[in-house]
Amino acid sequence: MEDVMLPSLPGGAATVMRWLVREGEAVVGGAPLLIVLTERAEVLLPAPATGLLQAPLAVGARVAPGGLLARLGPAASVEGQRPTGKVEAAAPVRRPRATPLARRIALAHGVELASLAGSGSGNRIVAADVRRAIVAAWPAANGQPPAGARVPGNGQAFAPSPRALGGGVSIPGPLPIATATVELDAGAALERVRALRPAFARLGLPLDLGSCVVEAVAALLPAHTLLNARWSEDALLLRRRIHLAVAQTGEGGRLGWRLVRDAGDLTLRGVARALAGPEVADLAAATFAVVSLAGGVGWASASPPLPGTAAALSVAAPAMRVAVGGAGLARRPLGTLTLSYDARVFDHREAAAFLRVLRDRLEHVA
C-alpha cells in the first residue's frame, strides 16, 4: 500500500481541485493523478507509484503539506479489479484553460469548466464565463425569478426574496440585525504575517492579520452568495462582484475606511496594496464590510452591516490566553470573529457555516 502525500508546494496548503483517475481505477507511477490549488499556483501531481486508487479525498478538501491525499493499493488486493493484474496507464486528460478565479468560483458552485466556452484571450475561461453559467442555471435550481427580474451588466442577478416566495414577513421599524461569533486561534495566521512581512516591507506594503482576513473573506464569498447580497422588498440582489469596505484602526484608535474593489481577483499582495491606499468616504459600492480591530486593544466588536449590504464581519484583536490544545494547556493568541447580518436575508445556520469555514481557513493557513 502506497500513501499519496501532498508535497511541499509554493503557497503551502492546497485544495483538491480534480482527480484524473476514478476511485478503484489503475494508474501507472508518474502518470497524472490529480490537480490541486494552492494560494500561489495550480499544480498537477503525478502518481508516486503504480496501483489502484483508494480512499481519495473529496474535491474541495484542504490539505496541509505532508497530508494524506489517497492511497494506492496493489491491483491484486482489490477483489474484482483487473483480474489479469495488468495495470493500464490513465488516459490523457485535457484540462480546460481557465483563470485561477474562474476555477475557484466554479469549484464553489459545482460548475464543470469543460462545459463552458471561454471568452478570454486564446479562448481561456474567465470568471465572467463561470458567473454567466451560474445565472443561467438559477431558474432550474431555484425557480423563476420574480416578475421584472433581470441580469444587468454590472455583475448582479435577482433572486426571489423570502417575502416574494411567501416565506417572510414585513418587519416595521429597525432592521432585524442578528450576530454570530466564533473564537479564532490566530497563531498560524500571525506566523504567516511574520514570515511574509519582510518581503512586503521591501515593496512598501504593510501586512497584518486584518489583511489575511480580508483575503480569506474574498475567497469564501463566492460560495456564500447571500452574505454578498442586498435586500429589497421584492427580491434579493445577488451580487457576483465583491467590493469590500474595510475599516482599520489608525492613530488614536480611529477607524479609517478603504474600499477594496473586486477583492476576489486579488492576491494577498493585492489586498495589502489596496489597504495601503488613501481612505475613502463614499462606500456606496460596498457589498460586504470587514471591520478589523486586529491592530488595536479591543476584545470584541459587532459592527452592523453598512447600508445596502447584508452582513459585516468584525475582527477582534487577539490576546494571549491559556487554551487547551493537542499538547495540553498552552498560551495562544485568541481573538474573535463576529458576523452581524440582516436576518431577513439569511439565518443563523448560514452565518455559523461561513464563520466556521473562515476560522478553519485562518487557523490552518500555511
Query: Domain map of the chain by residue range?
Result: 2-77, 100-144, 160-363
Choose among 14, 22, 11, 17: nearest CA to 113: 17
Asked if residue 315 has pLDDT above 50, the reply is yes
Interhelix angle 187-202/209-220, rounded to 10 degrees, is: 100
Q: What is the CATH number of domain 2-77?
A: 2.40.50.100
In whole angstroms, what is the distance from residue 351 CA to residue 210 CA?
20
- Structure-block grid coordinates of residue 255: 477607524
- Please identify which residue in the block is written with the cell numbers 482489490: 78
Q: Which residues pair with 311 in a beta bridge?
A: 341
- The SS3 assignment for 192 reads helix
How confident is the model at residue 22, as a pLDDT?
A: 86
Distance in angstroms (rounded) separating the CA atoms of residues 311 and 230: 9
Q: Looking at residues 262-287, what average pLDDT do you find?
A: 92
Q: Cell numbers 486528460 label which residue? A: 93
Residue 119 cell numbers, joined: 471568452
- Options 3.30.1130.10, 3.30.559.10, 3.30.360.10, 1.10.3720.10; CATH of 160-363: 3.30.559.10
Check pLDDT > 60 for residue 331: yes
Q: How confident is the model at residue 251 (pLDDT cuts 50, 70, 90)?
A: low
d(Cα 90, Cα 336) in Å, to the nearest integer? 47
What pLDDT is recorded for position 80?
43
Give me 28's grid cell: 501507472
pTM score: 0.57
- Where are any strands of DSSP class E within the chain? 2-5, 14-19, 26-27, 32-38, 42-46, 51-54, 62-63, 68-73, 156-160, 177-185, 229-231, 235-239, 244-249, 255-260, 288-292, 311-315, 319-325, 328-342
- Report the distance separating Cα 209 and Cα 186, nearest Å: 8
Tell me the chain's radius of gyration from C-alpha atoms. Answer: 23
Q: What is the mean pLDDT of residues 89-95?
A: 52
pLDDT band at 326 (very low <50, low <70, confident <90, very high): low
Contact 211, 275 (CB under 8 A): yes
What is the C-alpha separation between 185 and 214, in angstroms, rounded? 17
299 close to 319: Cβ distance less than 8 angstroms: yes
Confidence band (pLDDT; 50, 70, 90) for 327? low
Q: Is the pLDDT of residue 70 over 80?
A: yes
Per-residue model confidence (pLDDT) at position 156: 52
| pLDDT reading at 285 higher than 60 | yes
User: What whole-number distance in Å separates Cα of residue 276 and Cα of residue 103?
Assistant: 28
pLDDT of residue 320: 86
3 state DSSP class of 41: coil
- Comparison of pLDDT for 135 and 186, the residue scoring more: 186
Statement: residue 305 has pLDDT above 90: yes
The position carrying cell 485562518 is: 362
CATH 1.25.40 fits 100-144, yes or no: no
* Mean residue pLDDT across the chain: 79
Same fold, 2-77 and 100-144: no
- CA distance linking residue 270 with residue 263, whole number of Å: 8
Give pLDDT, residue 130. 82
Cα(277)–Cα(260) distance, rounded to whole angstroms?
Answer: 10
Shortest CA distance to 259 belongs to which of 283, 241, 240? Answer: 283
Q: Look up residue 305 and give its three cell numbers.
A: 452591516
Which residues are 337's β-sheet partners?
182, 315
Cross-strand bridge partners of residue 3:
71
Rounded distance, CA 181 to CA 14, Å? 27
Contacting residues for 253 by C-beta, under 8 A, at least 6 apart: 296
Q: How far apart are the first and last CA of the chain?
A: 28
What is the per-residue pLDDT for 144? 45
**Vertex 350 angle, CA 347 and 351, to 5°:** 85
DSSP conformational letter for 8: P
Model pLDDT, residue 341: 93
> Which cell is 251 given?
492613530
**Amino acid letter, residue 230:** R
